Amino acid sequence: MSNSIKNLTLKIWRQLGPTSKGTFETYNVEEISDEASFLEMLDYLNERLIGEGETAIVFDHDCREGICGTCSLMINGQAHGPQRGGATCQLHMRSFSDGDNIVIEPFRAEAFPIIRDLMVDRSKFDRVIESGGFITAPTGGAPDANLIAIPKPVSDAAMDSAQCIGCGACVAACPNGAANLFTGAKVAHLNRLPQGQPERFKRVEAMVETMDEYFGSCTNHGECEGACPKEISVDVIALLNKDYRKAKFASRKDLAR
Amino acid sequence: MSLTQDLLARNTVQLNSKIPLGSIEDKWDNYKADMKLVNPGNKRKFKVIVVGTGLAGASAAATLAELGYQVDSFTFHDSPRRAHSIAAQGGINAAKNYQGDGDSVHRLFYDTVKGGDFRSRESNVHRLAQVSVNIIDQMVAQGVPFAREYGGLLDNRSFGGAQVSRTFYARGQTGQQLLLGAYQQLARQIGLGGVRLFNRTEFLDVVTVDGRAAGIVVRDLVTGEIESHAAHAVVLATGGYGNVFFLSTNAMSCNVTAAWRAHRKGALFANPCYTQIHPTCIPQSDEFQSKLTLMSESLRNDGRVWVPKNPNETRPAHEIAEADRDYYLERLYPSYGNLAARDVSSRAAKRLVDKGQGVGPLKNGVYLDFNEVITRLGRDVVQERYGNLFEMYERIAGENPYDMPMRIYPASHYTMGGLWVDYELQTNIPGLYAAGEANFSDHGANRLGASALMQGLADGYFVLPYTIGNELAPMLGKTIPGVDHPEFKKAEQAARDQYNGYLNIKGTRSPDWFHRELGKIIWDRCGMERDEQGLKQALSDLPALHEEFKTDLNVTGDGMSLNQTLEKAGRVDDFFQLGMLMCRDALSRQESCGTHFRTEHQTDEGEAKRDDENYCHVSAWEWGGDAMSPNLNVEPLEFEAIHLATRSYK
C-alpha cells in the first residue's frame, strides 16, 4: 500500500528565457504518495502554483515511460536523478525520504541553451543525425528483408546501441559537455550492420565533425555511461574513435582514386 | 428499408470513397495503373505540409521529399524523434510467411477485417496487407535491428487475434526502432534541404479557400507567435485521441487538436466511439497518477492470465493452489486462450474485477503469470524475450515479475476512429489528407496488436506518396492562395482570440483539473461498456462541465512566451467537444461491435452482438455549428471478398 513522503524542500531553477538571469526558488511539498512519480510530484506542485496565480514550472516530458527521451532534469546534481538506468520520468518518490532537500536544475551544457525554467534546447543532436546518422535507402527499392543474413550477435550489439533515446543526459553529465556517447551510439548501431557498410566512413567523419562543431571534447571521464538511462557502454566511443581514424585513411584513399 | 439505407438518403455531405474497380487483389494495382503522375522535374513546384513526425508523418515527409516535393514538416516536440510511435513495444505485422505457417496477404487481410469486427473498408485493409511486406524490407534496409534467429534470418512472434507468427520485433522497443528508422530517413532529407523542419510548433487550424485546403495556422510554442503556412496539400499525421480519457497509455501531449480543428473546418470525423482499451496495462495506484503504462501484448504469448476463484482470497499469488485459480481466458476461449483479441480480453478482465475477483491492494487488476514459462524454458530465455518489459514493470510497480505475477488491467490505448478518408487517404476537404492513427480507415471497430505500426508506415511510405501525386498533377501551373489571403488572416485572428480568451477567463481551475473530470465521465460512460442511460447522462454532464471550463478556467502566465498551461487549455477544450461526439456516436450505434460494447446488445454468453442489417456502415459526423448538434453521414460497408460472419475466438 502507498505511504506518503512528507516535508520535501525543493530548490528549483526558474529562468524566463534564454538570455534572462535565472535563480533558484524554494518550494515546499508537505505530502506526496510514494507511488507518485517524480514528474507527478512536479505536476502536483504546478497545480498548486496555478491555483495561487503563479506561473507553472516549465519542464519537458512526454511519454512518462522512459522511451521518448523528452524529459531531462539534474536532480541533486545527477542527470535523471539518483537511480541508474532510468529516465527522470521513471523515478518514483519512494526513492526519497521525509524531510529531503531536492535541488532541481535543467541539463546544463553550452550546446543546450535554456529555453525556460527546466527546459533546454537539444536540437544540436538533430544536427548530428542529419549530417550522417542514417542509411541512405530511399523508399521503394529495398530488397527482401531476409536477403542478407545478419549474425545474431551483430544484430544484438547494434540493438544495444540503437536503444539511445537522445535525452542528452550524457552531455549534461560530462564535465566537457561532450556528445561522444550519443554520437558513438548511433555510429555503433549503423556501422556494425551490413546495411551500414557502404556509408560507414563517410558517416563517421560527417557526424564527428558536426559533433565537434557544437559540443565539447571527450576526455574519457565516463560520466556519460553512468548517467545514461539506457546504460549504453562507453565502448561505443572507442568504436567511434576507431572508425573515425580509419575513415581518415579510407577517405584519403577514395579521394586519391 | 434498413437503417443504413435510410440514413444514407439523408446524408448532408456527398461521400465518395473512390474504391478502385476490379477484384480485391487487383484494386491497388488498378489504382496505380490509372493514377496521374507528376514528372520528376515538376515535383519541386509543389509544396506539401506534413503535420506530425510519428511513423506516418516522418515516413510520408521523407518519402515525398525523396520524390522531389518541397516538404514542410511540423512537430510540437523538440525533435521529430519524440513522437509517440516511439512507445510501441511489441511489434509490427507483415504477411511475409517467413515461418512457413500458412500466412499470406489474404490471411492478414482476413484477420484484420475480422479483428475489426467487420466495420472497416475492405479495399483499404487489403492494400494494407499487400504493402505490409514492403515495410519490413524498407525498415531492414534502414538498419532497424529486428530480432533474428541464430542463422541470421528474421525472427517472428505471434500476437492476439492471429493463428500465425507474423510479428516482427526489436526486443520490447519495436516502435522506437521503427520510429528512429523513419526519423533518420527524415533527418537525411532535412540535411539535404528537401524538408524544412518546424519543431516546437503546434498546429492550430487548417485554412480552406474555396473549399480546398490551402495551408495551416501554427503557434510557435517558444515565442507564442501565431503564423500561417501555405501549401498545395496538407497531411495530418497527428495521432489518436486516447487522452480524452485523461488516464491512458498515450504520452502526455498526445491530443486531438489537429483532427478536431480540421473537423470544425468541415472534415468529417468517423466512428469516434471506436476506442481501444488495451488489456495489459499496469493498474492505477493512486489519485496523482498522470498516465498509465502499457505492458506489451506480446507478454500474452507466454504469460497466463488468471484471478483467484475466491473473491475473498487473501494469500499472495504464489501460495494460491492451481485448483483455486481461474485461468479465465483459457477457459472461455480455448483456441486462442491468452491471445484472444484485445476487446474480448479486456471485457473479460473487467467483469471479473467487477465481481470482486480483482487482485492487488486496490483489487483493480488481474494476474499475468510467467511461472509456467520460466519453469519450462528457464529464466534466461524469458529474460531474452521480455527483459526490458520486466524491468519496466518492476520500476513502476515495485514488484519483480520473475517471482510475483504481474498485475494488469485494461486502459485506453488506441483510437480506431478518426478523420474520414477515402481510398486515397484524402478527407472530404480536397487537398487535406489524414494518415496513421489520425484517420479511421483500416481497423474497423477494433485494432489487432502490432497493426498500428504497420498502418502508420503503410500510409506514409506506400500510399500517400502515390495518392498525393494523383491530386497534385492537375494543379500544375496553377497559382495557389498565399498566406496574405484573407482566409489565412481570418484564421490567424481567430486563433489569437481563442488563446487570449483562455488567458482572460481568470477562473479557479487548471486545465488539468478539467481534463481529469472530463476523463472520469468518458471512462465511466463511454469506456469498455456503454448503455443508453449512461451515454445520455454523459451528454448532459459534458456540456455542463464544458460550460464551467469556459467560465472558471485558470491559465496563468502569458501568451507571448512558452506557456505549457495555455497549450494544455486549447487541447482540453478540443477533448471536451470530441467527448460529446464520442458519446453521441456511441448512443446512435445501437449494436455492439468490436470495442464498442453496448450492454443492451449482447449474446447470451456476453459477447458483442452486431446488427449488420442496420449498422454495417461508417458513421461520419459533420460539424453542425456546435459540439452538441453534429450531422450524421453514413458510408455503407460492402463485403465482397469476405463473408460477414460472427466474430468468434472460441
Which chain B residues contact residue A39 at CB under 8 A? Answer: 290
Q: What are phi and psi of A3, to 5 degrees?
A: -110, 170
| CB proximity under 8 Å: A 213-242 to B | none
Asked whether the beta carbons of residue A51 and residue B143 sit closer than 8 angstroms, the reply is no
Of B244, B331, B297, nearest to B452 by C-alpha is B297
Instruction: Examine the fold and report which residue of B380, B411, B442 is the final residue of a domain before the chain moves on.
Output: B411
Are A35 and B144 within 8 A, CB to CB?
Answer: no
The residue-averaged pLDDT of B306-317 equals 94
Q: For residue A195, which amino acid is it?
A: Q
Are residues B377 and B506 located together in one domain of the fold?
no
Are residues B490 and B608 located together in one domain of the fold?
yes
Distance from CA of A89 to the nearest CA of B (A): 10
Into how many domains does chain B fold?
Answer: 2
pLDDT digits (tens, 9 = 90+) for A240-250: 999 999 999 88
The answer to whether residue B568 is domain-embedded is yes
Distance from CA of A145 to the nearest CA of B (A): 4
Are residues B542 and B401 located together in one domain of the fold?
no
pLDDT score recorded for residue B604 = 85
pLDDT digits (tens, 9 = 90+) for A27-70: 999 999 988 999 999 999 999 999 999 999 999 999 999 999 99
Mutate to test the interface with A, among B255, B395, B516 (most CBs of A within 10 A): B395
The answer to whether residue B614 is domain-embedded is yes
In this complex, the residue of A90, A133, A159 whose CB is nearest that of residue B145 is A159
Q: How far apart are CA A89 and CA A72, in angstroms?
A: 8
Asked whether the beta carbons of residue A145 and residue B154 sit closer than 8 angstroms, the reply is yes
In this complex, the residue of B87, B145, B396 whose CB is nearest that of residue A162 is B145
Are residues B585 and B500 located together in one domain of the fold?
yes
The answer to whether residue B526 is domain-embedded is yes
Give the DSSP H or E segment for B525. helix B511-526
Average pLDDT, chain B: 95
Are residues B301 and B400 located together in one domain of the fold?
yes
Quote the domain boundaries for residue B529: 486-636
Sheet holding A101-105, edge to edge: A23-33, A4-14, A101-105, A74-75, A78-79
pLDDT score recorded for residue A1 = 47
Are residues B511 and B389 located together in one domain of the fold?
no
The answer to whether residue B576 is domain-embedded is yes
Are residues B388 and B516 located together in one domain of the fold?
no
The residue-averaged pLDDT of B114-137 equals 97
Are residues B396 and B511 located together in one domain of the fold?
no
By C-alpha distance, the chain B residue nearest A131 is B191
Q: Read out DSSP for B478-493? A: -----TTSHHHHHHHH
Beta strand B366-369 with B304-308 is antiparallel
Cβ–Cβ contact A151 with B under 8 A: yes
| CB proximity under 8 Å: A 156-215 to B | 156, 158-159, 162-163, 165-166, 189-190, 193, 195-196
Q: What CATH number does the domain containing B581 carry?
A: 1.20.58.100
Looking at chain B, the whole-number percentage of residues with pLDDT higher than 70 is: 100
pLDDT digits (tens, 9 = 90+) for A104-142: 999 999 999 999 999 999 999 999 999 999 999 999 989
Are B72 and B49 within 8 A, CB to CB?
Answer: yes
Residue B333, C-beta contacts closer than 8 angstroms, at least 6 positions apart: B340, B344, B649, B650
Q: Which of B342, B347, B525, B584 is catalytic?
A: B342
Which chain A residues contact residue B59 at CB under 8 A? Answer: 139
Are residues B492 and B626 located together in one domain of the fold?
yes
Active-site residue, B342 included: yes
The residue-averaged pLDDT of B539-556 equals 98
Which chain A residues contact residue B153 at CB under 8 A? Answer: 146, 149
pLDDT score recorded for residue B182 = 98
B103 has pLDDT over 50: yes
Q: Read out DSSP for B144-195? A: ----B-TTSSBP-B--TT-SS--EE-STT-HHHHHHHHHHHHHHHHHHHTSE
Of B219, B266, B208, B263, nearest to B241 by C-alpha is B263
The answer to whether residue B120 is domain-embedded is no
Instruction: Examine the fold and report which residue of B371, B388, B411 is the final residue of a domain before the chain moves on.
Output: B411
The answer to whether residue B628 is domain-embedded is yes
The residue-averaged pLDDT of B330-351 equals 89
Cell triple for B501: 480568451
Are residues B625 and B506 located together in one domain of the fold?
yes
Q: What CATH number does the domain containing B389 carry?
A: 3.90.700.10
Residue B493, C-beta contacts closer than 8 angstroms, at least 6 positions apart: none
Are residues B603 and B505 located together in one domain of the fold?
yes
Are residues B294 and B399 located together in one domain of the fold?
yes
Q: How far apart are CA A27 and CA A40, in angstroms?
A: 15
Which residue, chain included where needed, has cell 460529446? B580
In this complex, the residue of A92, A159, A166 whose CB is nearest that of residue B81 is A166
Radius of gyration of chain A (CA): 21
The residue-averaged pLDDT of B145-170 equals 93
Asked whether the beta carbons of residue B556 and residue A116 sit closer than 8 angstroms, the reply is no
Instruction: Examine the fold and report which residue of B346, B377, B411 is the final residue of a domain before the chain moves on.
Output: B411
What is the separation, in whole angstroms, between the first and last Cα of chain B? 34
pLDDT score recorded for residue A91 = 95
Asked whether the beta carbons of residue B564 and residue A36 sit closer than 8 angstroms, the reply is no
Q: How far apart are CA A112 and CA B145, in angstroms?
A: 30
Domains of chain A: 4-116 (3.10.20.30), 123-256 (1.10.1060.10)
By C-alpha distance, the chain B residue nearest A187 is B143
Angle at A143 between CA A139 and CA A147, to 5 degrees: 145
Asked whether the beta carbons of residue A139 and residue B66 sit closer than 8 angstroms, the reply is yes
Q: How far apart are CA B217 and CA B207, in angstroms?
A: 7
Are B285 and B411 within 8 A, CB to CB?
Answer: no
